[in-house]
Amino acid sequence: MTQLEIGNDWFNAKVLQENNVKEIKILTEGQYVDGKFGRQFSIEILANGRKYKWTVSKTNQKILAEKYGMNTKYWIEKTVLVKTTQIMGKTTVQVITLNY
C-alpha cells in the first residue's frame, strides 16, 4: 500500500517568491532520483510550516556539503536561508546563509 503525501509539493523559485520564504529546514537526508532531467538529488524540507520536496542543485549541494559535510544525514534539522537568483536566464533557489 502507498501512503499519500498530500501537501508535499515541490519547492522551487516560484513557491519561494509566492510565499515569501526566507528560510527552510531540512527534514531528510535525501536521495538520488531519476527524473526527466536525469539523476537528481532530492530532500524534504519545511518552508513556512509546509512540507515540500526540493531538488537540490549541484551548487547548493556544494554549499551544504562545505558547511555540514558530505554525509547528508548531518544536514537533517539544519535551517538554511534562501533567496532567488538568476542562472542562465532562469530564476532558481539559492542557499545564501546558513544558521546554526
- 10 Å CB burial of residue 88 (0-12, 13-18, 19+) is exposed
| Residue 54 clears pLDDT 90, i.e. is over it | yes
Which of 19, 85, 8 shows the shortest CA–CA distance to 45?
8
H/E stretch holding 64 reads helix 58-68
| Rounded percentage of the chain residues whose pLDDT exceeds 90 | 79
**Average confidence (pLDDT) over 37-42:** 92
Which CATH number is 9-98 given?
2.40.50
DSSP string, 3-60: PP-TT-EE--HHHHHHTT--EEEE-S--EEEEETTEEEEEEEEEETTEEEEEE--HHH
